[in-house]
Amino acid sequence: MTKRPGILFAVGATVAGLVTAVPSPATADNGARHTAAELSWTDCGTKSYPSLQCSSVSTPLDHDDPSGRQITLALSRIPHTAKTFQGPLLVNPGGPGGSGLSMAGFVASSLPKSVAAQYDVIGFDPRGVGESAPALDCVPNYFDPLRPDSVPDSLAVEEANRDRARSFAQACGEKYPDLLPYMDTVSTAKDLDVIRQATGSQQLNYFGYSYGTYLGAVYAKLFPERVRRLVLDSNVDPDGVWYDDNIGQNYAFDARHKAFAAWVAKHDTTYRLGSDPAKVEDAWYAMRAAVKAHPAGGEVGASELEDTFLPGGYYNGYWPYLADAFAAYVNDQDQDALVKAYKKFGAVDAKADNGYSVYSAVQCRDTQWPRLWNTWRNDSWKVHDKARFYAWNNTWYNAPCVDWPVEPLDPVRVSNDSLPPALLFQATEDAATPYEGGVTLHRKLRDSSLVVEQGGGNHGITLSGNDCLDTYLADYLDKGTVPRDEGSGADADAVCAKSPDPKPLTGRAAVESARGTGSGSRGSILHGLLGFRG
């Protein structure tokens, strides 16, 4: 999960591919400005986003019973200021379970001003999330330390983890029996159309990261004629939702952990953990064994250590902070450094408790998960033997689905030949949504265009400092143009070089890291906003 700001680096890239124009009106839905009064917007600006406005809209709990019980969705908006108005641009940070209220300000301020000014950039808290009502919190403080070791090296440890997951599912069912049957991606996609209607627009523009790509693809399948422009960044493999996708993550996160170890080894003069990546990785697992036996500061055991370093798999801007804590513990026996890193990157607050409850409710409801625990056990050990960093941690994270109290739905087949050209972005080394998923979705959305960050490993790559990627994004939102690789047979329509890796912290940044403080760049701000575990 990416919950706290870190640090990031620079830009740079090369552009490949031809650009073709997608016809689109200069002004979308001329009547939208006149009917938008259906939503009552009030000022709720912040220091970072002073022009932010807030509102809310009612939506049916059960869309098959539109006159039945209503729930409330919280909305945010940066209104358009240009004479050319291209309609609402709904933005979603992923999850499921991620709050999108701050995304409106972030996206509007990160796009070129001339582009953002043409849209009402609208963020929202999906059903069950944050300021929307009711909001879910099945088991407050569920992730408080110390948790059992994620790797079940004894039957007692396995049963302790199984009991935790089973009790979480039971608590959700007892606390929200009326809500859980309607916590799913299809219901959330239909909520998007309620928001569209409330803005008075005949069509909407949509920009989603991570799980938000699946949400956008499902919306497009349900309402293809209502999609004007569709941007999907770090794409979920729709053929793997959700069990197979999680297994794929396990291998990919292990690879990113190895990339972190290689980066630490490259900077051995700073971290003094060795110049051999394998030896650095061994040192990390030795640290894991040490905190398993004697938790750092009494609150960072083996599972908490995994939680602390997992965000580095999402975003390498966190690597310098994590490496500082790693080196301080190994070289200086500094437990406090590890505790500070845990509180910065791994600790779960009430907002994240809510996010996890929604994550579980949606993913467990969306599709069938194996109901036999032996299937999970066997698959987890199989993965662990080859990719041990994340396999069991991820298993327990999703294990409530074994005993989920609501019957699953059938997943949506998102293949679509009725859309205007969509624009997809994907990094080749992304761990949370591996590259193959982006290629799969690209093939399923006819006329879509895929822009690839070659060698990039971050999850969520646009508006993070890569000018090559952001130019494609801005051109699409401004003029509807997409790159086309005509006739080569390659998966990608355009390729951008990855952003440079971060450098070790020096000077003031190093002092702030030691204190557990410090601020970040636009990239780190984005990764602090992205939804719960994607």
* Residue 134 CA: distances (Å) to CA of 18, 73, 104: 47, 9, 22
| Catalytic annotation present for 442 | no
- Show the CA angle centred on residue 50, arms to residues 45 and 55, nearest 5°: 35
Q: Tell me if 28 sits within 8 A of 86, measured CB to CB.
A: yes
Helix H segments across 267-318? 268-271, 277-293, 302-309, 311-314
Number of H helices, E strands in the chain: 20, 12
**Tokens describing residue 397:** 């994270």
152: Cα within 13 Å, side-chain hemisphere: 19
Task: Tokens 């008075």: give the residue.
Answer: 200
* Whole-number Å distance between alpha carbons of 104 and 468: 22
Catalytic residue among 210, 234, 303, 521: 210
Among 321, 363, 328, which Cα is nearest to 346's?
A: 321
Catalytic residue among 80, 384, 442, 459: 459
Gyration radius of the chain's alpha carbons: 22
Among 71, 46, 47, which Cα is nearest to 58's?
A: 71
**Tokens describing residue 185:** 């991606």
For helices 373-386 and 391-398, angle between their N-to-C axes, nearest 10 degrees: 160
Farthest-apart Cα atoms in the chain, separation: 66
* Whole-number Å distance between alpha carbons of 498 and 123: 28
Classified as helix, coil or strand, 207 is: strand
Q: Sign of the C-alpha dihedral, residues 413, 100, 206, 433?
A: negative
Catalytic residue among 29, 430, 475, 493: 430
| Catalytic annotation present for 475 | no
Determine the distance from the C-alpha atom of residue 103 to the mean position of all C-alpha atoms in its chain, rounded to a whole number: 12
**Tokens describing residue 11:** 């830009």
Classified as helix, coil or strand, 206 is: strand
* Whole-number Å distance between alpha carbons of 145 and 338: 14
Q: Element (H or E) spanning 73, and its range?
A: strand 70-78
Burial class (CB in 10 A: 0-12, 13-18, 19+), 254: buried
Among 88, 85, 126, 91, which Cα is nearest to 110's?
A: 91
Amino acid identity, position 176: Y
Q: Sign of the C-alpha dihedral, residues 523, 360, 372, 161?
A: positive
| Catalytic annotation present for 430 | yes
* Residue 296 CA: distances (Å) to CA of 32, 287, 290: 56, 10, 9
Task: Tokens 């200069």: give the residue.
Answer: 26
Number of Cβ within a 10 Å radius of residue 403? 19
Residues assigned a catalytic role: 210, 430, 459
